[in-house]
Amino acid sequence: MNSQIRLPSPRGTFRVWQRNMTIFRKYWKTIMFPNFVEPLLYLAALGLGLGAFIQEGGIQGGTYVQYIAPGLLASNAMFAASFESTFNTFVKLKIDRIYDAIVTTPVNAEDVVAGEYLWAGTRAALYGTGFLTVLAILGFTLSPEAPLISSFWALLIPPMLLLIGVMFSVMGTLFTSLIQRIDLYAYYFTLVVTPLFLFSGIFFPVENFPAPVPQIAWFTPLYHAVNVCRELATGPSVAVLADIAWILVFTSLLALLPIRFMRRRLIS
Amino acid sequence: MSTEQERGARARESTLIARDLRKSYGEFQAVRGVDFEVYRGECFGFLGPNGAGKTSTMRMIYGAAVPTGGELMVAGLDVTRHERDVKRRIGVVPQENNLDDDLEVKENLLVYGRYFDLPKKVILQRAEELLDFVQLTDKADAQVEQLSGGMKRRLLIARALINDPEIVVLDEPTTGLDPQARHLVWERLRELAREGKTLILTTHYMEEAAQLCDRLVIMESGRIITQGSPTQLIEEHVSPQVLEFRSRDGSLEKLIEIAEAEADAVERSGESLLAYTSDADALMEKVRGSGIEVENTVYRQAGLEDVFLRLTGRSLTN
Quick one: pLDDT at residue B317? Answer: 39
Please give the torsion angle defined by the CA atoms of residues B160, B163, B168 and B170, in that order, rounded to the nearest 10 degrees.
Answer: -10
Distance CA A182, CA A94 (A): 9
Q: Is A59 helix (H, G, I), strand (E, B) or coil?
A: strand
Under DSSP, the state recorded for A186 is: H
B153 and B45 in a common domain: yes
Q: Is residue B315 part of a domain?
A: no
B139 and B112 in a common domain: yes
Q: Is A96 in Cβ contact with B100 (below 8 Å)?
A: yes
State which H helix or E strand residue A76 sits in: helix A64-83
| Total domains present in chain B | 2
Q: Are B54 and B40 in contact (CB under 8 A)?
A: no
> Considering only CB atoms, which chain B residues are within 8 Å of A100?
64, 94, 98
| Total domains present in chain A | 1
Q: How far is A18 from chain B (nearest CA, A)?
A: 9
Model pLDDT for residues B2-56, shown as the tens digit of each residue = 455 555 555 578 999 999 999 999 999 999 999 999 999 999 999 988 889 999 9
B160 and B219 in a common domain: yes
Mutate which of A89, A105, A262 to disrupt the B interface (most B C-beta within 10 Å)? A105
- Range of the structural domain that residue B88 is part of: 3-227
B285 and B137 in a common domain: no
In which order are the strands placed within the sheet that holds B28-39? B28-39, B14-25, B69-74, B77-78
Share the mean pLDDT of chain A: 91
Q: Is A106 in Cβ contact with B65 (below 8 Å)?
A: no
Q: Is residue A5 part of a domain?
A: no
Distance CA B290, CA B292 (A): 6
B250 and B129 in a common domain: no
Q: Are B187 and B156 in contact (CB under 8 A)?
A: no
What mean pLDDT is predicted for residues B149-178? 94
What mean pLDDT is predicted for residues B83-100? 95
- A1 → closest Cβ in B66, B100, B159: B66
Question: Closest-CA residue in chain A for B62?
Answer: A104
B159 and B43 in a common domain: yes
B207 and B269 in a common domain: no
> Residue B270 maps to which CATH number?
3.30.70.980
Q: Is residue A171 part of a domain?
A: yes
Model pLDDT for residues A131-182, shown as the tens digit of each residue = 999 889 888 888 888 888 889 999 999 999 999 999 999 999 999 999 999 9
Q: Is residue B171 part of a domain?
A: yes
Q: Is residue A4 part of a domain?
A: no
Q: Is B94 in Cβ contact with A105 (below 8 Å)?
A: no
Q: Are A225 and A77 in contact (CB under 8 A)?
A: yes
Model pLDDT for residues B224-235, shown as the tens digit of each residue = 999 999 888 888
DSSP chain B: --HHHHHHHHHT-EEEEEEEEEEEETTEEEEEEEEEEEETT-EEEEE-STTSSHHHHHHHHTTSS--SEEEEEETTEETTT-HHHHHHHEEEE-SS----TTSBHHHHHHHHHHHTT--HHHHHHHHHHHHHHTT-GGGTTSBGGGS-HHHHHHHHHHHHTTT--SEEEEESTTTT--HHHHHHHHHHHHHHHHTT-EEEEEES-HHHHHHH-SEEEEEETTEEEEEE-HHHHHHHHS-SEEEEEE-SSTHHHHHHHHHHHHSSEEEEETTEEEEEES-HHHHHHHHHHHT---SEEEEEE--HHHHHHHHH-HHHH-
B123 and B248 in a common domain: no
Model pLDDT for residues A215-247, shown as the tens digit of each residue = 999 999 999 999 999 999 999 899 999 999 999
Q: Is A19 in Cβ contact with B100 (below 8 Å)?
A: yes
B136 and B66 in a common domain: yes
Quick one: pLDDT at residue A55? Answer: 64
- Range of the structural domain that residue A212 is part of: 10-266
Q: Is residue B234 part of a domain?
A: no
B221 and B131 in a common domain: yes
Interface check for B103 against chain A (CB to CB < 8 A): the answer is yes
Question: Closest-CA residue in chain A for B159?
Answer: A101
Q: Is B100 in Cβ contact with A106 (below 8 Å)?
A: no
Q: Is residue B318 part of a domain?
A: no
Interface check for B98 against chain A (CB to CB < 8 A): the answer is yes
B257 and B109 in a common domain: no
Question: What percentage of chain A carries pLDDT values higher than 90?
Answer: 69
Share the mean pLDDT of chain B: 89
Q: Is residue A3 part of a domain?
A: no
Q: Is B87 in Cβ contact with A1 (below 8 Å)?
A: no
Q: Is residue B308 part of a domain?
A: no
The one-letter amino acid code at A35 reads N
Check whether A26 has a pLDDT greater than 50.
yes
- The residues with which B180 forms a beta bridge, in sequence order, are none
> Considering only CB atoms, which chain B residues are within 8 Å of A103?
63-64
Model pLDDT for residues B239-278, shown as the tens digit of each residue = 888 888 887 777 787 888 888 888 888 888 777 888 888 8
ipTM of the prediction: 0.91
> Residue B215 maps to which CATH number?
3.40.50.300
B260 and B172 in a common domain: no
Q: Is A106 in Cβ contact with B116 (below 8 Å)?
A: yes
Q: Is B112 in Cβ contact with A105 (below 8 Å)?
A: yes
Tell me the whole-structure pTM to 2 decimals: 0.89
